Amino acid sequence: MESHTSQACGYATPARRTGVPTNDGDAEHFCTSCAFAEACATAGYGRGELNDLHMLVEHVGPFEPGQRVFRAGDPFRALFAVRFGMIKTTMVDAEGREQVLGFYLPGELVGLAAIYPEHYPCDAVALEPTECCRFSFPAMSALAARQPKVQQHLFRLLSKELGSASLLAGDHSADERMAAFLVDLGDRYAARGLSGTEFRLSMARADIANYLRLAAETVSRVLGRFRTQKLITIDGRKVALMDLPRLRELARCVLNA
């Protein structure tokens, strides 16, 4: 991992100018972008009950665009949760071609695919100024054994990661793939208390095309067609989903696969 300053997770810190509300909560509540907030809320836990989880978190970063949070082949010792910014994961195939595997928003865990091989199988690259929470995996495993809700949530996150990996594996059209990408991204933003219909596409069009296994020209044509059909509007990297029901219907066969 590239060298960056880190600190133990503490209490409230100033919000970053990224459009994503970020804080460390208070003596009773975890930060709004915490990857385990759902588990805490479901179990009725606050910081008091899960102080052990709080104590094993370190803040790392910031990582500037293009910098790596971890590299393929590095020994697996920790999971990383995005606090603010965005991360893409990539790997290089046998022919030396880069493949974009996924994009991670605030509150999402990066590195779950490294649990079995015990080394990171891909690079994690910041797409914009990004800060993460680093969770020591040995310490987290020990905590999960004592806290069933944390263990269940970790398994749920791992299952979701595996499901996302196969999301675009089917024989779907370019329009279906793009609609699924936009709807899924919007749903993930909405789950974090942000707008699910207006958001920034921090990734380059080439990265979107690579992830969707489409040609870059195809992505541009599909986005242009969606704009003509009044499904979306685009202003630079800002996109607005103008007809979410129609987009969701178009994406149905991908998202329900």
Judge whether residue 36 has pLDDT over 80: no
Kindly tell me the burial class for residue 182, based on how many C-beta atoms sit within 10 Å of its own C-beta (0-12, 13-18, 19 or more).
Answer: buried
250 assigned to some structural domain: yes
Q: How would residue 16 be classed by pLDDT, with cut points 50, 70 and 90? A: very low
Same domain for 99 and 209? no
Predicted local distance difference test score (pLDDT) of residue 39:
45
Total domains in the chain come to 2
- Least confident interval from 109-123, 180-194, 242-256: 109-123
Mean predicted confidence (pLDDT) in 57-78: 92
100 assigned to some structural domain: yes
Count the neighbouring beta carbons within 10 Å of the beta carbon of residue 186. Answer: 22
Q: How would residue 231 be classed by pLDDT, with cut points 50, 70 and 90? A: very high
Return the CATH number at 180: 1.10.10.10
Largest CA distance in the chain: 54
CA gap 203, 87 in Å, rounded: 9
Last residue of a domain, one of 165, 183, 202: 165
Same domain for 182 and 242? yes
Q: How would residue 17 be classed by pLDDT, with cut points 50, 70 and 90? A: very low
Same domain for 211 and 240? yes
Q: How would residue 14 be classed by pLDDT, with cut points 50, 70 and 90? A: very low
Judge whether residue 112 has pLDDT over 70: yes
Same domain for 52 and 116? yes
Contact 231, 242 (CB under 8 A): yes
Q: How would residue 51 be classed by pLDDT, with cut points 50, 70 and 90? A: low
Predicted local distance difference test score (pLDDT) of residue 164:
64
What is the pTM (predicted TM-score) of this model?
0.79
CA gap 119, 103 in Å, rounded: 19
Same domain for 11 and 49? yes
Domain of residue 94 covers 6-165
Return the CATH number at 58: 2.60.120.10
